[in-house]
Chains A and B, each alone.
Chain A
């Protein structure tokens, strides 16, 4: 039986899917702007962040209204709660993308410190994690969500490696410090994006099965598909 207010949840779901799409695009464009020193694209990323902010507020308001007036139960209740949490994570992803774009503008004015290899690689993994986490929102595929959680350590490891590498650049030559610091912050932003993707994956497991898999040591051990 379809209820007269079912369409409200459909709008809620499509808003969240939209947030996922926009935030993934924002991360991709911010990294592209950095690698290609494309200031115009970086400015676009900065300007587009408003849409994520608006969507987050809309999702929150709708969730509160729905809980207040429709008293959701079971899957619906989990959907509304997860929607609020995931939209917050996606909004933070947008903020990290904006932060990367702002640093890309600064870095575009100077010659690159080193070839951009690890940062795009790391960003590609974080972007895939986000995509997979949001896919499980539609599919309810728990295995994929768990794979996202397990992948977080890959990004953490690259971040640590970059930290060491950039530190040595700074020790070598004080003239490198400003650019190396910007890159460290960018690396940290990507690491956080992966954390948000992990949160979203965990939220999707809760949505599908009402199970809380946060902070389980068993999920933190495995890093790469090859077990390294």
Chain B
């Protein structure tokens, strides 16, 4: 499929050709005093280096090197099975829970600390690196109890403190106005979009630094999707967000940077604007314009 794409964009010298005159291996960036790209400097929060990951004997990630910015939204895109969700789950060691997984080389550092180091408690890590899943999964408890669950485990007992965090988290997840009068009804009584926002509220209640989102809108209708996307935009003021998505438009709308993966390798990582306007790699372009994947 990759080969097909390469020929689809390479230009022909024939004047009758109808091919797209795309960037080709022979064309190089034109460098006059071009206006600087809108790259405001940010700090690196997560640094993934030389990362090789295996499920049993099957290698799922190959030599991943990636620096993710603090308080920014990064989108992971790529066809199914490309390793993007695997990498996402490596960021809070969710893969530890699967038998036979191993890291044969490289590592992940968050604020300079190796998260796979011996002294790191994976439970503590997951408090700092929260996760929202594809399918909303509220606990079969009240809306209120869903939010305070993590806090109760942490030993927070003060009713006033819990109330305060419930309101703050639900407001943060843009759900407060819709549920404030029925906090003690079951979380499962909410609509799909509301349930997903409840899960986001539950995640932010424990005040993580990083929120991982694995296709958070794939089961939602366009309005609920728009609400979650709006929320992502708000949340990035406080949190660093990494989102896996199959929707190119969602990646384009929500993220500051985009990483494209294919067959376990990081193919291209750049400002989202670059990925969607002028990707450097032919495979990236083929994928974002729906020619393969």
B30 touches A137 (CB 8 A): no
Contact string against B for A residues 85-106, beta-carbon threshold 8 Å, 1 for contact and 0 otherwise: 0000000000000000000000
Interface size on A, residues (CB 8 A): 37
Q: Say yes or no: A139-B13 contact (C-beta < 8 A), given A73-B276, A78-B277, A209-B30.
A: yes
- Give the shortest distance, in Å, between A182 (CB) and chain B (any CB): 36
B30 touches A13 (CB 8 A): no
Q: Say yes or no: A75-B289 contact (C-beta < 8 A), given A140-B23, A209-B23.
A: yes
CA distance A204 to B27 in the complex (A): 13
- Give the shortest distance, in Å, between B30 (CB) and chain A (any CB): 5
User: At the interface, yes or no: A112 with Cβ under 8 Å from chain B?
Assistant: no
CA distance A48 to B51 in the complex (A): 64
Q: Which B residues, 2 to 54, have Cβ-Cβ distances below 8 Å to chain A?
A: 4-5, 8-9, 11-15, 17-24, 27, 29-30, 32-35
A205 touches B30 (CB 8 A): yes
B30 touches A211 (CB 8 A): yes
User: At the interface, yes or no: A218 with Cβ under 8 Å from chain B?
Assistant: yes
- Give the shortest distance, in Å, between A220 (CB) and chain B (any CB): 12
Max chain B Cβ within 10 angstroms of own Cβ: one of A74, A78, A139: A74
Task: Considering the complex, give the chain B residue whose CB is closest to the CB of A219.
Answer: B32
Overall SS of chain A's interface: helix
User: At the interface, yes or no: A216 with Cβ under 8 Å from chain B?
Assistant: yes
- Give the shortest distance, in Å, between A213 (CB) and chain B (any CB): 6
User: At the interface, yes or no: A110 with Cβ under 8 Å from chain B?
Assistant: no
B289 touches A142 (CB 8 A): no
Q: Say yes or no: A73-B20 contact (C-beta < 8 A), given A138-B11, A218-B32, A218-B33.
A: no
Note all chain B residues with C-beta closer than 8 A to A219: 32
A79 touches B20 (CB 8 A): yes
Task: Considering the complex, give the chain A residue whose CB is closest to the CB of B286.
Answer: A1
Note all chain A residues with C-beta closer than 8 A to B33: 216, 218
CA distance A213 to B286 in the complex (A): 26
Max chain B Cβ within 10 angstroms of own Cβ: one of A72, A78, A139: A139
A9 touches B1 (CB 8 A): no
Note all chain B residues with C-beta closer than 8 A to A208: 21-23, 27
- Give the shortest distance, in Å, between B253 (CB) and chain A (any CB): 12
- Give the shortest distance, in Å, between A222 (CB) and chain B (any CB): 12
Of B8, B21, B24, B32, which is within 8 A of A136 by CB? Answer: B21
CA distance A208 to B9 in the complex (A): 11
- Give the shortest distance, in Å, between A144 (CB) and chain B (any CB): 11
CA distance A142 to B127 in the complex (A): 52
B21 touches A140 (CB 8 A): yes
B292 touches A1 (CB 8 A): yes
CA distance A135 to B17 in the complex (A): 11
- Give the shortest distance, in Å, between B249 (CB) and chain A (any CB): 7
Of B5, B15, B30, B276, which is within 8 A of A135 by CB? Answer: B15
Of B17, B21, B278, which is within 8 A of A204 by CB? Answer: B21
Task: Considering the complex, give the chain A residue whose CB is closest to the CB of B249.
Answer: A71
- Give the shortest distance, in Å, between B84 (CB) and chain A (any CB): 18
A137 touches B21 (CB 8 A): yes
Of A75, A79, A140, A212, which is within 8 A of B285 by CB? Answer: A75
- Give the shortest distance, in Å, between B86 (CB) and chain A (any CB): 25
B291 touches A1 (CB 8 A): yes
Task: Considering the complex, give the chain B residue whose CB is closest to the CB of A70.
Answer: B290
CA distance A71 to B275 in the complex (A): 15
User: At the interface, yes or no: B248 with Cβ under 8 Å from chain A?
Assistant: yes
Note all chain A residues with C-beta closer than 8 A to B276: 73-74, 77
B277 touches A139 (CB 8 A): no
CA distance A204 to B23 in the complex (A): 11
Q: Say yes or no: A9-B20 contact (C-beta < 8 A), given A78-B277, A140-B27.
A: yes
On B, residues with C-beta under 8 Å from A are 1, 4-5, 8-9, 11-15, 17-24, 27, 29-30, 32-35, 248-249, 252, 276-279, 285-286, 288-292
- Chain A to chain B contacts (Cβ below 8 Å), 14 pairs: A1-B1, A1-B286, A3-B291, A10-B18, A14-B18, A74-B278, A138-B11, A139-B13, A140-B22, A140-B23, A142-B27, A205-B30, A216-B32, A219-B32
Query: 14 extra interchain contacts, Cβ-Cβ under 8 A, other than A73-B290, A140-B21, A213-B34?
Result: A1-B292, A9-B20, A14-B18, A71-B249, A72-B289, A74-B276, A74-B277, A75-B278, A136-B21, A139-B11, A140-B11, A142-B27, A205-B30, A209-B30
On A, residues with C-beta under 8 Å from B are 1-3, 9-10, 13-14, 71-79, 135-142, 146, 204-205, 207-213, 216, 218-219
A-B complex: 3 closest residue pairs judged by Cβ atoms: A140-B21, A210-B278, A75-B22
